[in-house]
Structure formats: C-alpha cells, structure tokens
Amino acid sequence: MAGRNVMTIRPLTKFALLFAVLTTLTLALAACGGGAAKDAENFVQVRTAPADYTIDDLKDFGMKTSKQYKVEGLPDGLDAWKGFWGTDPYDRHDYEIRFYESHDIAISSGKQLAIDATGAEFEAKRDEQVWTVGVKDRWQARGVTDVSSGGSRQAPGPTYQDWAIVGNMVILCDGLDSEQAILRCADLIDHFLPGDAG
C-alpha cells in the first residue's frame, strides 16, 4: 500500500515541479520583456533637475570623456562633450552632452537641435545641421549581422538615436534604435540622479 501511494504521488510531484518551473520562467520573461518596453514608453524626455551641471559633475559620477567640442555655432551653448558611461566597465555607451546656462535655455535653444542630431531626423538632415561641429562623430558604421551569409557587414547610420534634456544638459544617447537609446538615456539619468521621479 505504501508503494502504491509513492507511485501515485511521483507523477503528481513531477507535474507540480514542471508547472512551477514553467510558471516562474513565464513570469520572469514577462517581467523582463514588459519592463523594458514600459520604461521606454514612460520615459520623461524633458525634466528639471535639482542643480545646473558641468562636465565635472559627470566626470565625478564616472563618465569618461573622449572629446570636447568647440561650441562656436551652437546657439547659447556653454560647453559640449563626447563621452562614454556604463555600470559595467566592459559595456559602456556613447553620449554627447551639451551644457546650457539653464533648463529653460536648454529647451528653447537645444531641443530642436537635439531632435535634428538624432535618429531619422539626423539621417535626413545630416548635411543641414545648424551646429556642424562633431557631425562626423554623430554618424557611424555599425556592424549588422547578415543572416544570408552568416557574416556581418557595416551599415552606416546615426550614432545617437534619441535624446533627453535634464536640467541644463541636453544628452544624446547611442543605440541601434530609438527605444534602445531611450533606455540608455534612462539608465544614465537614473544613476546620475537616483530617486528622480521624472
């Protein structure tokens, strides 16, 4: 009789274990996939900040700079840099940061220029940029997997696919598409201004 009970319990235990594993995997995948889309969807692209910042604030935070741009021709611009940052030192991403005197000036003088310097707008208006300094850095050959040959090829395109304004900073963020760039903008901002509700 005891052997019979073990025989009937075993299949139920295997089924329960399999069900628990599948349920956990399904919930984990839903959380990962849904979270990324939700973060990009709810991202606040223009937000205030508790202070006005300079490149030194970003360097103190951990951003590495690779180039300072001359701001001649950048309307109301005080400073501009190319840099890279990431929580993983082996997986960092490119950013272009433009500094203005205030949040209001960053919006009034910098927002349209940020739109024109990112994604499809940059692709369409690359030869019509108001501020031409750094244009070559905003266009890059990116590796794209060629499924038909099993190799890869270079496909030129905008370095920065989207942007954000935080306080007096205009931030251009790299990515393969707008969603990835927005997530990278969000990651930088969330770490730089922890607890920011925006």
| pTM score of the predicted model | 0.74
Let me know if residue 184 belongs to a domain: yes
Residues 60 and 84 in one domain: yes
Residue by residue, pLDDT tens for the chain (198 residues) are: 455 554 444 555 555 544 554 444 444 433 443 334 446 788 999 999 999 999 999 999 999 999 999 999 999 999 999 999 999 989 999 999 999 999 999 999 999 999 999 999 999 988 899 999 999 999 986 655 444 444 444 678 999 999 999 999 999 999 999 999 999 999 999 999 987 644
Residues 4 and 93 in one domain: no
Rounded distance, CA 65 to CA 99, Å?
A: 14
Residues 68 and 15 in one domain: no
Query: What is the total count of domains within the chain?
Result: 2
Count CB neighbours of 70 within 10 A: 12
Print the domain residue range for 148: 46-192
Residue pair 69/82 in contact (Cβ under 8 Å)? The answer is yes
Cβ-proximal residues to 145 (8 Å cutoff; 6+ apart), any chain: 151, 152
**What is the DSSP secondary structure assignment for residue 77, as one 8-state letter?**
E
Q: Which amino acid is at 161?
A: Q
Let me know if residue 100 belongs to a domain: yes
Let me know if residue 198 belongs to a domain: no
Cβ-proximal residues to 165 (8 Å cutoff; 6+ apart), any chain: 45, 46, 47, 103, 106, 107, 110, 111, 114, 171
Residues 59 and 151 in one domain: yes
Let me know if residue 71 belongs to a domain: yes
Question: What's residue 142's pLDDT?
Answer: 60
Residues 114 and 130 in one domain: yes
Question: What's residue 143's pLDDT?
Answer: 54
Question: What's residue 67's pLDDT?
Answer: 97
Residues 27 and 57 in one domain: no
Using N-to-C axis directions, what is the helix angle for 2-41 and 178-192, rounded to 10°? 90
160-166 and 46-47 as β-strands: parallel, antiparallel, unpaired? parallel
